[in-house]
Amino acid sequence: MLAAIGVTVPGTRRKTVGYCVDWTEQRHHLSGAVGAALLDCCIERGWVERKPNSRVVRILPAGEEGLNDWLGLDTRTLADA
The domain locations on the chain are 3-8+18-71
Asked whether 31 and 20 are in contact (CB, 8 A), the reply is yes
Asked whether 11 and 18 are in contact (CB, 8 A), the reply is no
pLDDT tens digit sequence for 4-62: 788 887 787 888 888 777 777 677 778 888 888 999 999 999 999 999 998 888 999 99
pTM for the whole thing? 0.76
